[in-house]
Amino acid sequence: MSLLERLGVEIPVVQAGMGGGISRHELAASVSEAGGLGTIGVSGAAAIRRELEAARELTARPVAVNVLLPFAHRDWFDAAAEADVVVTFWGRPRRRTLGVWIHQCGSVAEARAAEAAGADGVILQGVEAGGHIRGTLSALELFDRAASALPGDYPLFLAGGVAERGDVQRALEAGASGVVAGTRFLLSEESRAHPGYRDRLLAARETILTELFGAGWPAPHRVVANAATDRWLRADRGVPLLNRAINHMLAPGARHVPESVLARMVRAQRPGSRLLSPAGPTDDRPATLVDAGALYAGEAVARIDDVRPAAELVRELAP
Ligand SMILES: Cc1cc2nc3c(=O)[nH]c(=O)nc-3n(C[C@H](O)[C@H](O)[C@H](O)COP(=O)(O)O)c2cc1C
């Protein structure tokens, strides 16, 4: 029996935790209720608790919580432990919960480290994925390499470029226990992406891998172009040295910045700001962020041209 089956998840489709509040209870609960595994992506112990409780009101099925390790405090894990699965990302894999724990990885070495640290499974993220990008290989290539390096029955999930049923079938044929889809669920009715953000994604055919929106988190991320990328990215798509220096300088203190200060930073953010935070444009953030913020999206955005109810998406992805 697979890890998802043991949890009571019928369809091997996991909706990626999308941080900064893009995936909250509405989306996670809809995905889980439809038979997939929905994931909440919010910051702070109180927000995790609130969103998880709200999701439990909507579904009795399993729900996951995503925790971004560079920002997590101890009490986030206490709150996340109430979920059926805790998914961690970006950092040294370490067991922080007694329950089911899955770590998202960008390399074979990281997947092996997660397995050695006792993770119940790993997500192998390809470079074509949306959001922050951990590795350099395509999802299927990383998957194949990881599959040969880890025990045969170890649960492996594939993330990156999953937008249609064929993508799910290919991953399962390669031996995946399931898939993780972010961009496809970002363009669902229940995601909390700002309407202006969705419109840009629906029109987009290309993405950029950059470190531009890296204030406090200087890491590669895949986005769709907007006024900020037009303003700052050089012809070779490199980020100006001063922007990079600012991003790196802020990193050590980022996890200690209070939410109220972050909110003020985000309100002040303009395409011409050098201080470009990783906050994505949610529907409760200012519309200015659509041109001044990170429009996270994976390469699959080129194949998506509608916003649909999440339950319909789960049914369509079901192999
Ligand atoms: C808008 C957005 C936000 C994301 N935020 C997170 C996050 O907070 N934590 C995380 O583990 N992964 C995050 N990811 C990455 C996903 O977990 C996953 O690797 C990715 O979405 C898969 O590729 P796809 O977008 O092509 O489906 C995010 C992805 C997107 C598109």
Residue 226 buriedness (CB in 10 A; 0-12 / 13-18 / 19+): buried
Question: What backbone phi and psi angles, to 5 degrees, belong to 13?
Answer: -125, 120
Query: Does the Cβ of 146 fall within 6 Å of ligand 1?
Result: no
Check pocket membership of 304 for ligand 1, CB cut-off 6 A. no
User: CA dihedral defined by 164, 289, 105, 76, rounded to 10 degrees?
Assistant: -120
Phi then psi dihedrals of residue 283, to 5 deg: -75, -10
Going from the Cα of 129 to the center of ligand 1, the distance in angstroms, rounded, reads 7
Q: How far is the CA of 123 from the centre of ligand 1 (A)?
A: 11
Is 188 near ligand 1, meaning CB less than 6 Å away? Answer: no
Q: Is 16 in the pocket of ligand 1 (CB under 6 A)?
A: yes
298 lines ligand 1 (CB under 6 A): yes
Q: What are phi and psi of 33, to 5 degrees?
A: -65, -30
Q: Report residue 211's pLDDT band, with 50, 70 and 90 as the boundaries.
A: very high
Is the minimum distance from the CB of 186 to ligand 1 under 6 angstroms? yes
Measure 131 CA to ligand 1 centroid, in angstroms: 5
Q: Is the CB of 88 under 6 A from ligand 1?
A: no
Residue at token pair 């170890």: 154
How many CB atoms lie under 10 A from the CB of residue 45? 17
**In which band, very low, low, confident or very high, does the pLDDT at 78 lie, cut at 50, 70 and 90?**
very high
What's residue 24's pLDDT? Answer: 98
Give the sign of the dihedral formed by CA 7, CA 309, CA 205, CA 274.
negative
16 alpha carbon – ligand 1 mean position (Å): 6
Q: Which two tokens stand for residue 65?
A: 């919580």
- Closest by CA to 19, choosing from 79, 75, 87, is 87
End-to-end CA distance of the chain: 17
Task: Specify whether the CB–CB gap between 294 and 280 falls below 8 A.
Answer: yes
CA distances from 290 to 76, 139, 201, 209, 260 (A): 28, 28, 11, 17, 20
Output the residue whose Cα is nearest ligand 1's atom 28: 131
pLDDT band at 259 (very low <50, low <70, confident <90, very high): confident
Which residue has the least CA distance to atom 3 on ligand 1? 18
Tokens standing for residue 317: 């992805």
Q: Model confidence over 146-205: pLDDT tens digits?
A: 999 999 999 999 999 999 999 999 999 999 999 999 999 999 999 999 999 999 999 999
CA–CA dist 172, 155 (Å, integer):
12
How many whole angstroms from 182 Cα to the centroid of ligand 1?
Answer: 5
pLDDT at 253 over 90: no
Pairing of strands 121-125, 85-89: unpaired
* Pocket of ligand 1 contains residue 294 by CB under 6 Å: no
* pLDDT at 299 exceeding the cut of 90: yes
For ligand 1, say whether the CB of 162 is within 6 Å of any of its atoms: yes
Going from the C-alpha of 8 to that of each of 1, 14, 32, 66, 169, the distances in angstroms are 10, 13, 10, 19, 20
DSSP per-residue string spanning 59-78: -SS-EEEEEETTT--HHHHH
160 pocket-lining for ligand 1 (C-beta < 6 Å): yes
Cα 50 to Cα 43: distance, rounded to the nearest angstrom:
11
159 C-beta closer than 6 A to ligand 1: yes
How sure is the predictor about 104, in pLDDT bands with cuts at 50, 70 and 90?
A: very high
Whether 255 has a pLDDT exceeding 90, the answer reads no
- Both tokens assigned to 286: 């200012």
- Average pLDDT over all residues of the chain: 97
Tell me what pLDDT residue 142 has: 98
